[in-house]
Each structure stands twice: as structure tokens, then as C-alpha cells.
Amino acid sequence: MPVDTLRAEIARALHSLGVEDAGEIVLERPRNPDHGDWATNVALQLAKPLRKAPRQIAEELVDLLDVQRAGVSAAEIAGPGFINFRLAAEEVQGRLLEIAEADAAFGRSDAGRGEAVNVEFVSANPTGPLHIGHGRQAALGDAISSLLAWTGWKVQREYYYNDAGEQINRLARSTWARYQQEQGREVDFPEDGYQGDYVTDIARELAAAEGDRWADDDSPEALEAMRRFAVRVLMTELERDLDTFRVEFDEFYLESSLYEEGHVESTISRLRESGLVYEKDGALWLRTTEYGDDKDRVMVKSTGHPTYFLPDVAYHVTKWERGFHRAINVQGADHHGTIARVRAGLRALGHPEGYPEYVLHQMVLVIRGGAEVKFSKRAGDYVTLRELFDEVGVDVARYFFLMRRPEAQLTFDLDLALDQSDKNPVYKVQYAHARMCSIARKGGVELDAVDPASADLSLLERDSEIGLIKEIARFPEVIEEAAAQRAPHSVCAYLESLAGMINSWYHEGNDDPSLRVIGVEDDLMRARMVLVRAIRIVLRNGLAVLGVSAPERMEREQAIETAEAAA
RNA sequence: GCGCCAGUAGCUCAGCUGGAUAGAGCAACGGCCUUCUAAGCCGUAGGUCCCAGGUUCGAGUCCUGGCUGGCGCGCCA
């Protein structure tokens, strides 16, 4: 990496200046391109310890720098004492070789060193269809997982099924009531039941499969049959929706297995050993305040039933025991209240502070024509994920869910999502990719076979071309940063800005055909085609990380070509 | 009342964990169709970074105190 050689050279120069320990030498990319490709503030930071003016330090430093050895073409002092470095054109053009060489792996790195990380997300109870909040979470969890995989982590995508709790009982009672109603019986629907039409659908399916055998039957067996049937139907539906949404899990972890395999019991006894457990009012409590929680928490109610808290702790213990010493939970921000207690429970068992890590995301607001869309035909009181992606498509839905920081509320604008122009950021990026493919197609070139070594890359000398190469060469850093921050939205921002640069460069050929890729002399075309290939690689890889497709042609374009062929 | 998250252009949002003149898209205004795709491109305008203090060479970014909005504070899950 050119940055490292530059940093090493600065360190050497500092050493000759008599600076033994300059701390970490910070090299950053200036926002303003006039300030070069890299800049350092060492002179500013050394002003105080050296008791010298920053600009004077900068001058002495630049005199001692071997520009060539640093791999740059110029070092300039600017502003209050920044030193700006400019990369030589050959250095920039040479990056195209790396990009083409790495191809589908360009952007991968190994910060994670193969270490295991568990990413838990969605984890919706099988009590109803997925809603748009789950959609955001599915997209986020999947993209964060991909980012981690791209940066060298061994990732397990995990879904935690709460198939054992009170909510499932509510589902069973709701299904029972709908079933009886289907059988023509007059029964009251439970007050806390699930109101959506889907429960009636399930009851009908059950009636179709098993007839009237449960009519008037309010025995535990009947309720159990309802429970099992409804959960199976809903799990099948959830997994089908997630599959369509292109989210695959490595593990569906069942809450019920925590009881069956004794993890809940063993967690209680291990917590007792911590000395932080006590009884009060007939319930069993854990002194979570010991580890920073607001108040102590009940583990086992006076009824003898555990609260949600206990299996949650037991579950995270299994994560650790299964080898995941790093775990990331993607959750809705409305669940943030559980974080302190779960971590406290885990610390009581000796797990490190800050385990697991959380990515909390805010709610999703769906807007059409400027007004909020709230209701769903099927679920009643919310918009389902399936309704959303059936309408806008999986690519658009995934991208929209990812393009904002998780902790910012997301406004999902259906009008924008359905727009097929560059106003829609998804199309803007996909279009840029399709455009690169289109150039190659029109030029009769197999893009993946374009060989940078056989082209004269020094012909790529326009500002727009140099700028583009610098930008696509930056892609691995973008991925690394996004992974470290658990921030897929920064990949979106990068791709959109890159697509803008690509469009500008492309359209330079509108007025001046000599600036096009096709129709210019062979050497020039070969060099520019290398750039086209490299751009295509970065767009494709970037979209792949987000789980969004990179079409070789856009639908609209296909329609036009089909029409032309017919005429 | 306490806790978490947010507050940046008319709107939706970035801002690389403290850097140089705060950016993008949409909307607005002006220009460009004989194209490697005009569902596009180029340009212009638009700001009390919620407020008040503090930290330092330097603050949208950090610390304190307020204000506004969302969410959460159960022997619910």
C-alpha cells in the first residue's frame, strides 16, 4: 500500500529531525482535492512538544523527505502547517492492475483473521408475518454479516426463534378461537389475541387438513395442536419471505431447545453461585444493579415460570460456548431496555463487559404521496415486508433499508422507490454498472477478459479518469471502515457518489466523441476499456456486499432493444 | 421523573471518531437531444450545524447544562 510507504518515510524524516516518538502518524484524505491525495497534520501536533511554529516544523520535515522513496510526486505545505502529498499519475494508473487482478475479490481484506463472529438478527417470533421493521433488520444484519465476511471474519448468521413463550400461547388461543368460528361455533376472540387476517387463514388451513376434529374441544391437547400447527405455518412463511428477500441463515436457534437441553436450569444454578441471586415476594431475582442495570431483575416469577430475561442470558451463554467470543445483535431500538440486564447477567457469569455487541436501529416509516402508509391487508395493523418487496422489488427494498444509518429513523418513500430514473439511488448505481456492460457489449469486448497489462494505461490522463481510478482504488478502505463501524450505509453513499463520477466521465463523450471509449483509436480504447472493467468490478462487488443485484442491462434498456429488434 | 437515540440547505440525509472554504440527492432556477442510453447531463442559488457555556493551535464532531422529537422504563415478551 502506498500509504504505508509514505508513512514510513515520514517516520524516517521525523527521526532525522530528532523526533523519537511522534505517536501515530495520521494520514488522511483531504476533502478538498486541491489539497492533494494525502495529508498529514504531524507538524501541527508536534508544535507544542517541540515549541516551534507548525509551519516551520513542516518546512524542516519536507526538506528531509525523500519524495520519490515516499511514492508521491510532490509534498507541499499548506494552511496552518498541513503537509499535502500528491500521487504520481503512474502510481494511480497502476492501481488498475491490482483491481483487475483481484477481480471479484477486490475489496476483501483480513482484519478479522478468520475469527468467528455471530450475527443475530430478525429473530421475529413466529406469531405473524414479518413487518417492515424486520425488513430493515434483515437487510442490516445480512449486510453487516457480509461486510464482516469481506474483512476476514468467519461469520455465522443466526435467527433466534422464541417458540416457547407467552406470545406463542396467545397465538395458539387466537388460532383456536378462529378455528371454532370456522366451525360455526360462537366463541369470544381473546382480548390479547392476534387480530390479523392471517390467523383466520391458518385456522382455515387447519380445518382443511384436520376437519372438525377439534370442534368444541378446549382441552390442552387441542390448544397444543393449534400451537404446533400455527407455528409451523408461520415459520414456513417467515423462512419463505426471508428466502425471497435473499437472506440466508446458518442457524435457526430454538428457544425451546434451551429448556430441553437444560441450559436454562444450568444458568440458574451458575447464577446462584455468583451470590447475586436472592428471593423476594416469592420470586427469584438477580442483582443486575451490581453491573450497571437500573434495577434488579426477576429471573423466575412467583408462578414458577421464568421471565424472558433468563432464557435470553442462557442463550447468550450458548453463543459463547459455541465459540463465538464476538457476537453482534441487530435489534430494534425499542428493545434497548433489555441490553443492560442481559449484559449484567452475562457478567455475573464471568463474561466480558460489552458482550454481546448491539446494533440498534430505529423505526421505519412508509410514505406514499407524502402521507404515511400504516396498514396492511393481511396483518391488520402494520405493513408487511412481503407487501413491500412485492411492490418495489427486493433490490430496491434492501437498498433503501441500508442507505441510512441504523440509528436514524428511516423514511421509506414509495414514490421514490418506484421511480426508475437516476433519482432513485438504487437505479443510479445499477444503471452505472449496466452502462459499463453496455459499453463493452457495443465495443464487442468481453469485459472480464480485458487485460490491463496489455494496455498503455498512461493514456488515462484526463482529470475525470485519474479521479475515477483514485475513487475505485479506495473501495477496500470503504469496506473496511464500513465493517468496523457496522455501517452499510457508508457503502451506499460511496457507490452513489461513484456512480455520479462515472456518469460525468461518461457524458464527457457526448460533446466530444474523442473522449468516448468506443470509436477512438485502438490503444486509447484498450486503455479506457481497462477502466471500464475496473469500474464494473467495484460496482459489482459493492452491490454484492449489500445483497443487491448488479444487472448487465436495465429492464428499460431491454425493452427498447426488444422493440428495435422487432422493428 | 430516569435511560437510550436523534436534531446539519425548503425536504430526505452524509460528514471518514478533532482538521483546511460543512457536502450529496430531491425540490427550485438557467442551459443542453444527430448520444458508447436525454428515465439523462452541465451550471446557479440555498446554512445561527437546536441553544448556552467549556476543553485547544483548531469543534458539526469531545465535556457540562438546557430545548425539541422518537423509543424504552412490568413477576409482558
Q: What percent of chain A has pLDDT over 90?
A: 58
Distance A360 CA to B5 C1' (A): 9
Q: Is the CB of A28 under 7 A from strand B?
A: yes
Q: Is the CB of A418 under 7 A from strand B?
A: no
At residue A556, the pLDDT reads 56
In which residue ranges of chain A is CATH 3.40.50.620 found?
Answer: 121-259+364-418, 261-361
Q: Which residue has the cell 412463511?
A: A237
Q: Is the CB of A409 under 7 A from strand B?
A: yes
At residue A52, the pLDDT reads 77
pLDDT tens profile A306-342:
998 999 999 999 999 999 999 999 999 999 989 999 9
Q: Is the pLDDT of residue A22 over 70?
A: no
Query: Which cell numbers in the block locate residue A525?
Result: 480504447
The C-alpha atoms of residue A358 and residue A520 are separated, in whole angstroms, by 53
Residues 6 or more apart whose CB falls under 8 angstroms from that of A177 comprise A187, A188, A189, A190, A193
At residue A567, the pLDDT reads 43
Q: Of residues 198 to 237 in chain A, which lie within 7 A of strand B by their beta carbon?
A: none
What does the longest C-alpha to C-alpha distance in chain A come to? Answer: 94
Q: What percent of chain A has pLDDT over 70?
A: 96
pLDDT-derived band at A463 (thresholds 50, 70, 90) equals: confident
In a 13 Å sphere around the CA of A177, the CA atoms on its Cβ side amount to 17
Q: Is the CB of A357 under 7 A from strand B?
A: no
First vs last C-alpha separation in chain A: 53
- Provide the 3-class DSSP secondary structure of residue A69: helix
At residue A1, the pLDDT reads 52
Q: Is the CB of A557 under 7 A from strand B?
A: yes
Residues 6 or more apart whose CB falls under 8 angstroms from that of A201 comprise none
At residue A199, the pLDDT reads 93
Residues 6 or more apart whose CB falls under 8 angstroms from that of A70 comprise A5, A6, A9, A10, A85
Q: Is the pLDDT of residue A290 over 70?
A: yes
* Nucleotides of strand B under 7 angstroms from a protein beta carbon: 2-7, 12-17, 19-27, 35-42, 57, 70-77
Q: Is the pLDDT of residue A380 over 70?
A: yes
Assess contact for A192 and A170: CB atoms under 8 A: yes
Name the nt closest to A555 by C-alpha to C1'.
B39
pLDDT tens profile A168-225:
889 999 999 999 999 999 898 988 888 889 999 999 999 999 999 998 998 999 999 9
Taking the domain A121-259+364-418, which CATH number applies?
3.40.50.620
Fold assignment, A425-566:
Isoleucyl-tRNA Synthetase; Domain 1 (1.10.730)
Assess contact for A543 and A427: CB atoms under 8 A: no
CATH for A261-361 (1.10.510.10, 3.30.70.20, 3.30.365.10, 3.40.50.620): 3.40.50.620
Q: Could you tell me the strand order of the sheet in which A371-372 lies? A: A371-372, A364-368, A410-413
pLDDT tens profile A386-422:
999 999 999 999 999 999 999 988 989 898 898 888 8
Q: What is the DSSP letter of A373?
A: -
Q: Is the CB of A323 under 7 A from strand B?
A: no
Residues found in chain A:
567
pLDDT tens profile A536-567:
999 999 999 999 999 998 865 555 555 545 54
Fold assignment, A2-87:
Gyrase A; domain 2 (3.30.1360)
Among A142-151, A224-233, A242-251, the least confident range:
A224-233
Name the nt closest to A301 by C-alpha to C1'.
B75
Q: Is the pLDDT of residue A382 over 90?
A: no
pLDDT tens profile A36-75:
888 888 888 887 777 777 788 888 888 888 888 887 888 8
In which residue ranges of chain A is CATH 3.30.1360.70 found?
Answer: 2-87
The C-alpha atoms of residue A255 and residue A160 are separated, in whole angstroms, by 7
Residue with nearest Cα to nucleotide B2 C1': A294
Segment A131-158 shows an average pLDDT of: 96
Q: Is the pLDDT of residue A517 over 60?
A: yes
Phi, psi of A34 (to 5 degrees): -60, -20
Q: Is the CB of A336 under 7 A from strand B?
A: yes
Exposure string of A90-118, with b = 16+ CB inside 10 Å and e = fewer, is: ebbbbbbbebbeeeeebbbeeebeeeebb
Q: Is the CB of A512 under 7 A from strand B?
A: no
Q: Of residues 429 to 468 in chain A, which lie within 7 A of strand B by their beta carbon?
A: 431, 434-435, 438-439, 442-443
Report the complex ipTM: 0.92
At residue A56, the pLDDT reads 84
At residue A484, the pLDDT reads 93
Phi, psi of A84 (to 5 degrees): -105, 140
In which residue ranges of chain A is CATH 1.10.730.10 found?
Answer: 425-566
Residue type at A103?
A: D
Q: Is the CB of A170 under 7 A from strand B?
A: no
Q: Is the CB of A513 under 7 A from strand B?
A: yes
Distance A565 CA to B13 C1' (A): 42
List % helix, strand, coil for chain A (3-state, nearest 5). 55, 10, 30
Segment A474-483 shows an average pLDDT of: 93
